[in-house]
Structure 1
């Protein structure tokens, strides 16, 4: 015969309603009483039926996680596995399950989000990308559905959207200034997808640093990786290096692309950092295992996922909080940058 809440209440010498409140972690119950009830639950082998409770409370205890389209690029990039690790850690602490949504196209993702919202199969959404003119954010705002963005929203949604982000403009400006201090004047930029907000912020920071040093932005030094992996953009890199004069340094949008750049430069017979300096973003584990180890910006990916999930759970529980949380970054100097001989 299965153990019931009444059995737990009898053993703990409390009311059944107190056991119910302990299960939902109510702040109205003292820590001492919670420990007594939980001990009784353990001794009796009682396990709460969260599915039944969710039907009563009209809550699914499930969060939707929306990956960007082009899953080939997304799943190859360690950024997403690390941000998911942070999301999973916080969701587990608060006893939320996860529903992962991916799609081959923006239309597929939009349709999936609509189904999740209208069917109420989830309590809230974590959006792992931010694009210009994307339909998902306006839709979620219109439906007044809880969601948090990992990234920066477009300017028109800045006050309405809860989000967690790095200051990508400032970080890109800083790494470009670092290359300038090393004596580099011809600095290329390899960005992500053109319609991604993070690409916009990276390029703005890069251009701002050049302009403050009275260096004109050379449009021929700009490459955008629209396929998720740089292998599909190697022709653009070859054209960039064939341009005369060619860059002596590169600011690359993320470490995964930087690894491809290192390989392609090696195939061209160019040495890093002797012939080309490279700085990147994300500080994935592989960045310290490359030859040479990659100079990069640690954006604390795990924290982005963990704190983004915390913000979403706070929204679901209707707790007051700031709509914006900025995670600090850390510049990690390794061995892919070298002072330029003048």
Structure 2
């Protein structure tokens, strides 16, 4: 016969109910007792029946992850595997499993979320994006279902718990970095305009240009998806202008890699002829040729903190919204070190 909860309780000198509370990570039990009981569980080889526990508690012990588009497309950008790595790290420590949404269209993704919620497949949801008029957010608010947003909400800020960076401040700072180096023809290449991260970074770029007395050239602003091909398309547009930019603020490292690739194909020297700074500071930024300057937004921490927030909402039933701003830092490498000739 296998080890039972009563065996653990006897060995630990506590009641079986205390062992149950340790298994469910109850705040009523001290950390000292939790460590003691968990050590004895390990020594005895006791493994709790998670399914039975979840059935009794009417929980799934699972978190849902919602991508901005189909997983096959989203995973082309290493931002998402990295933020999921941060989510997974905390979820594992808290004994939560993960369920990633699937679907090729917004309608299919919404349908997948509805199945998660109505089928009680997950206890809470983490949205890895923020966009205008998102029907998924509207649905989750209507259902009063626990969720956390990675990114600044477009609306209902007072009702939504979210985690983000100061994207406006970061974009303004990197644009000013170029301006201090003597650049005046500075372009901005962003992702889709309906994403709040694009809007915030574009606003920071625009305000830096205006406050420095530099003209805003609409031809220098280019938007597409957060993909390699978007960076290549932006160069095809920007380098055809009568006065091409001498510096580019890219809203994402993958976009920037496309930019570097196309500039190399055209024989443009980086940073001597065109300087580039982007966002996310992926491992690929260090491996790029030349090495890519980038804003480190602490992607892993975004996922880690988002998971803590959603689990806190689940376990405390606290409906008050919270916001966490994760700090960023600019990592300058070869792609932006050159100063523009006056």
- Determine if the TM-score, normalized by the shorter chain, exceeds 0.5: yes
Cα distance change on mapping 1:319 and 1:55 into 2, 3 Å = closer
**Bigger shift: residues 211-220 or 32-41:** 32-41
Cα distance change on mapping 1:302 and 1:117 into 2, 3 Å = same
Report the equivalent of 1:38.
38
Report the equivalent of 1:55.
55
Report the equivalent of 1:341.
341
CA contact (8 A) 1:64 1:99 kept: yes
Structure 1: segments with no counterpart, 5+ residues: none
**Mapped partners of 1:240, 1:30: distance in 2:** 61
Alignment of 1:186-201 (within 5 A): 186-201=185-200
**Mapped partners of 1:115, 1:107: distance in 2:** 12
Shift of 1:70: 4.4
State whether structure 2 residue 319 is matched by structure 1 residue 323: no
Report the equivalent of 2:147.
147
**Mapped partners of 2:108, 2:63: distance in 1:** 19
**Mapped partners of 1:92, 1:160: distance in 2:** 28
Report the equivalent of 1:110.
110
Alignment of 1:1-342 (within 5 A): 1-154=1-154, 156-226=155-225, 228-231=226-229, 234-318=232-316, 323-337=322-336, 338-342=338-342
Shift of 1:291: 1.6
Task: Write the deviation string for residues 75-133 of structure 1: whole angstroms up to 9, x where unpaired.
Answer: 11111111011000000111101001132111111110011111111000000011111
- Give the alignment's TM-score, normalised by structure 2: 0.95
CA contact (8 A) 1:73 1:229 kept: no
Shift of 1:237: 2.3
**Mapped partners of 2:119, 2:136: distance in 1:** 16
Shift of 1:147: 0.1
Question: Per the alignment, in what secondary structure is the counterpart of residue 87 of structure 1?
Answer: helix
Shift of 1:238: 1.3
Question: Per the alignment, in what secondary structure is the counterpart of residue 158 of structure 2?
Answer: coil
RMSD, aligned CA: 1.5
Cα distance change on mapping 1:144 and 1:18 into 2, 3 Å = same
Question: Per the alignment, in what secondary structure is the counterpart of residue 279 of structure 1?
Answer: strand
